[in-house]
């Protein structure tokens, strides 16, 4: 195996362990399918490469549409699913989230959209780098659903937390709307030290509140010399960021704009 690929996979394994210990800030509406349902889902995704063995549900070798297609030492592991009307009002669709068969640049996984037909599930599209730790559906004014997701990625000294929507009817470059993004850089050894976390997400119908802890200081010479072994204390404040939904997208409420702009720089 090429050295670069080996190191990338090792980094992915480390990030995976950290991600599995992360507690999402919002409730996950997704669910893990049973063995029978998983078999039908995987058959639609990868045909004869589907494997269901107890709680292990995956494709092997990696499917043709993934970055590591054909690789037999990786598994395209089914994590969980989320039903919704993602393709059209009233449609029966299923967003299926996978881990594996992608590199660091694509967050080590992705999402498949399945459409329900008379013959069962049919694969509609695949998007790499869509690897949420929690998700729910949000109904647009047009009657379709979009994915609302929380993601977390730990690596290279950064701990990044995001809230975003994903519209499966749009082209890949315009499908994602980033709403909240906070990154803790205390172990990144840079000139600006940010301590940040996404603590909780609560919903009020189609509006939500994100509780965010955030603070930032300039790095001193001691930090630049000793990082990451010695991390200075960073004063923080906890903020309630309110977001409203206009039927198409989320925007910060007027009372939250000032701190939202500060955190989002």
User: What percentage of the chain carries pLDDT values higher than 90?
Assistant: 85
H-helix segments, 149-216: none
User: Which of the four pLDDT bands, split at 50, 70 and 90, describes residue 76?
Assistant: very high
Q: What pLDDT does 156 receive?
A: 87
Q: What pLDDT does 256 receive?
A: 98
- The domain of 244 spans 3-263
Q: What pLDDT does 4 receive?
A: 45
pTM here is 0.90
Q: What pLDDT does 173 receive?
A: 87
User: How many Å apart are CA 97 and CA 108, to the nearest integer?
Assistant: 11
DSSP structure string for 208-221: EEEEEEEEEEEPPH
Q: Please enumerate in sequence order all residues whose Cβ is within 8 A of that of 217, keeping only pairs 6 or more positions apart, or say none.
A: 192, 193, 232, 234, 235
10 pLDDT exceeds 70? no
Q: What pLDDT does 2 receive?
A: 54
Q: What pLDDT does 14 receive?
A: 46
Residue 78 main-chain phi, psi, to 5 deg: -75, 120
123 pLDDT exceeds 60? yes
User: Which of the four pLDDT bands, split at 50, 70 and 90, describes residue 178?
Assistant: very high
- The distance in angstroms from the start CA to the end CA of the chain is 40
Q: What pLDDT does 264 receive?
A: 86
Tens of pLDDT, residue by residue over 216-230, are 999 999 999 999 899
Q: Span 59-65, mean pLDDT?
A: 98
Residue holding tokens 């990451």? 228
User: How many Å apart are CA 72 and CA 74, to the nearest integer?
Assistant: 5
Total tally of structural domains belonging to the chain: 1
Tell me the CA distances in angstroms from 144 to 89, 138, 147, 170, one per residue in order. 5, 8, 10, 12
84 pLDDT exceeds 80? yes
Tens of pLDDT, residue by residue over 27-56, are 999 999 999 999 999 999 999 999 999 999
262 pLDDT exceeds 90? yes
């Amino acid at each position: 195996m090429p050295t670069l690929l080996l190191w990338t996979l090792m980094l992915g394994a480390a990030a995976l362990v950290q991600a599995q210990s992360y507690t999402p800030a919002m409730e996950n509406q997704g669910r893990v399918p049973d063995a029978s349902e998983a078999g039908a889902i995987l058959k639609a995704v990868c045909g004869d490469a589907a494997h269901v063995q107890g709680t292990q549900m995956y494709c092997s070798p990696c499917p043709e549409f993934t970055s590591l297609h054909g690789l037999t030492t990786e598994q395209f592991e089914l994590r969980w699913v989320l039903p919704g009307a993602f393709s059209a009002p009233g449609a029966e669709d299923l967003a299926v989230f996978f881990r594996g068969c992608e590199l660091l640049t694509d967050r080590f996984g992705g999402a498949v959209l399945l459409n329900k037909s008379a013959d069962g599930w049919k694969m509609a599209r695949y998007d790499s780098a869509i690897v949420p730790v929690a998700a729910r559906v949000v109904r647009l004014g047009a009657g379709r659903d979009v994915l609302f997701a929380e993601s977390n990625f730990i690596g290279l000294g950064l701990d990044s937390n995001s809230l975003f929507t994903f519209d499966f009817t749009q082209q890949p470059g315009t499908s994602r709307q980033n709403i909240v993004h906070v990154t803790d850089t205390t172990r990144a050894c840079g000139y600006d030290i940010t301590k940040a976390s996404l603590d909780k997400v609560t919903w009020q119908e189609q509006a939500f509140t994100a509780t965010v802890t955030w603070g930032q200081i300039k790095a001193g010479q001691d930090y630049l010399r000793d990082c990451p072994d010695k991390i200075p204390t960073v004063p923080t404040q906890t903020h309630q960021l309110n977001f409203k939904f206009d039927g198409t997208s989320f925007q910060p409420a007027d009372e939250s704009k000032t701190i939202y702009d500060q955190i989002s720089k």
